[in-house]
């Protein structure tokens, strides 16, 4: 609803560089509105 605040938190669950795994949660008024499990990789920036 307009005016509500979404509070988000994320924590790293596991890392095996360059791969990482995390869990996240978003809540409004203390109640979970969204949750997610994420995986991502970090790579060097291309120098073009």
**pTM, to two decimals:** 0.73
Task: Specify the pLDDT at position 46.
Answer: 85
pLDDT in tens, 1-48: 899 999 999 999 999 999 999 999 999 999 999 999 999 999 998 877
Which residues does 25 contact at the CB level (< 8 Å), separation at least 6?
8, 9, 10, 32, 34, 35, 36
Q: Where are the domains of the chain?
A: 6-41
Task: Give the count of alpha carbons within 13 A of 46, CB side only.
Answer: 1
């Amino acid at each position: 609803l307009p005016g509500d605040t979404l509070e988000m938190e994320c924590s790293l669950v596991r890392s095996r560089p360059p791969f990482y795994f995390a869990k996240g949660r978003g809540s409004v008024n203390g109640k979970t509105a969204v949750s997610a499990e994420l995986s991502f990789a970090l790579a060097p920036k291309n120098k073009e």
